[in-house]
Amino acid sequence: MDNGSKIYLYGITAVAVIGGLLFGYDTAVISGAEGGLERFFMSATDFEYNKAWHGITASSALIGCVIGGAISGILASRLGRRNSLRFAALLFFLSALGSYYPEFLFFEYGKPTYNLLIVFNLYRILGGIGVGLASAVCPMYIAEIAPANMRGRLVSWNQFAIIFGMLVVYFVNYLIRSNLPTANVLADAMASVGWRRMFLSEAFPAALFGIMLFFVPKTPRYLVLSGHPNEALGILERINGKKNAASILEDIKATAKEKSEKIFTYGVGVIIIGILLSVFQQAVGINVVLYYAPRIFENMGSTGDVSMIQTVVMGIVNIIFTVVAILTVDKFGRKPLLIIGSVGMMIGMLALSILSFMDVIGIAALVFIIIYTASFMMSWGPICWVLISEIFPNTIRGKAVAIAVAAQWITNFLVSSTFPSLSEWSIGGTYLIYATFSLLSALFVLKWVPETKGKTLEDMSRLWKKK
């Protein structure tokens, strides 16, 4: 036990990353369900379900994500990291059931109305709050549990889980779509039961997440901040070994003396860097590709089922390159991978822009979409979360992470909601905008982001005090 139990550490991490899987699952489930959902509400007689309403309905969960991200700091500080994740699991579960059966208690089943649409969107926002919470607290929890030399790798597993959750829901949506009653026309079956089953499927991993969270500890850093150092020492001994635990505990205590430090105690710079990391992660346009993947492939000439299969293939590529990041983040460092990823994304988006202006579609466009997404997945996808979870000093981490994550979801909403109108203006011009942000992200990392490889979370306090 001199070096701690790796099995215990991996077990805790495995439970925590289920939150990441649900993050990916919840944000991507709409890609398969939105067609049937649109057809269902278009048959309403008391209001007109137009494209504007559909855009709001398809992206309403993102409103919840902004709320969840914004309140994550308060909840993580007051309830603790573990209890915040339990609350997120409950929200995921209730959202899945409510989105499946929004008529519950108050409405006639299967009859679309304006009020039913509002209730459905409220359930989606509820799930979005869970996503916003999980997106902030899961990497924070893992970062506060993990030893410094493994932190980048373990936090990166959260991004792997996000992408894996997306891939799982692509498969689940495909299976649900393939097994709908054959007596009905497919579009009618999707409008009646298909979208409901897709949302319901999320209840199972949500329930598993909630149950498993009763078997993991609170983080040592939260326990010290809340006045339970002996309990923190016991967890540190199991993870790091008795020989290292005492010195780690003293280091935590040294940086946790002022529990209620102001958000700008370490200067404005660290907060701005955290916000810009979040903004650039979304401004490069990744969620446009992830959310609209089936439609993008259909625009390239693929049919419905083929476009879904191409989406699954892209999901597999994403997983492979996320593993590349996991294997290299603690060896090569955060900055080199971010810069390499930014350059790869710029090349991919610039090529897509040129192809669009030339009106060339087909295999070349697919190749450059894969180059773009692969570059993101081995860099900004996981490493942005690693940096956000570790770059802030202990005493302001909860509040600072909440600000950064809220900025991320606001940017996500702005990018995702403007894509349809931007693409109507010029699809090539839209890709060129994302290519420009990819270039700017590389310059930002080169100039402003410090390398955190191998540093303890307590080193962050000393790093920013020097600046």
pLDDT 10s digits, 59-116: 888 889 989 988 988 898 888 899 999 999 999 999 999 999 998 888 888 888 999 9
Check residue 201 and give its pLDDT.
Answer: 93
Domain co-membership, 417 together with 310:
yes
Domain shared by 212 and 270, yes or no: no
**Among 21, 33, 59, 39, which residue's Cα sits nearest to residue 417?**
59
Q: Is residue 215 left, alpha or beta, with left meaning phi > 0 and alpha meaning psi from -120 to 50?
A: alpha
459 and 344 housed in the same domain: yes
396 belongs to a structural domain: yes
pLDDT at 442: 95
With respect to residue 31, please indicate whether it lies within any of the assigned structural domains. yes
Residues 323 and 443 in one domain: yes
Instruction: Single out the residue in 216, 250, 279 at which a domain terminates.
Output: 216
Residue 168 sits in the same domain as residue 46:
yes
- How many residues would you count in the chain? 467
Residues 6+ apart with CB under 8 A from 328: 337, 378
Same domain assignment for residues 209 and 329: no
Evaluate whether residue 117 is within a structural domain.
yes
| pTM score | 0.79
Reading the block at residue 408, the tokens are 């991320």
Provide the domain limits for residue 419. Answer: 263-467
Question: In 10 A of CB 269, how many CB atoms?
Answer: 13
Is there a single domain that holds both residue 430 and residue 318?
A: yes
Cα(456)–Cα(454) distance, integer angstroms: 7
- pLDDT for 1 equals 45
275 and 196, same structural domain? Answer: no
Residues 349 and 439 in one domain: yes
Same domain, 44 and 145: yes
CA angle, corner 305, sides to 302 and 306, nearest 5? 40
Q: Establish if 229 belongs to a structural domain.
A: no
* Domains identified in the chain, total number: 2
CATH of the domain at 136: 1.20.1250.20
Q: Is 358 exposed, middle or buried (0-12, 13-18, 19+ CB in 10 A)?
A: exposed
Number of Cβ within 10 Å of residue 454's Cβ equals 12
Q: Are residues 72 and 164 in the same domain?
A: yes
Tokens 């600000």, residue located: 403
Helix (H, G, I), strand (E, B) or coil at 147: coil
DSSP secondary structure, 216-248, as one string: SPPPHHHHHHTT-HHHHHHHHHHHH-HHHHHHH
Model pLDDT, residue 304: 54
Residues 294 and 178 in one domain: no
pLDDT at 342: 96
Max intra-chain CA distance, the chain:
70
Which phi and psi (to 5°) does residue 150 adopt? Answer: -120, 0
**Token couple for 311:** 């989406």
Question: 216, 231, 254: which is the final residue of a domain?
Answer: 216
| pLDDT (0 to 100) of residue 258 | 45
Segments in the chain below pLDDT 70: 1-2, 181-191, 255-261, 265, 290-311, 360-362, 420, 457, 466-467
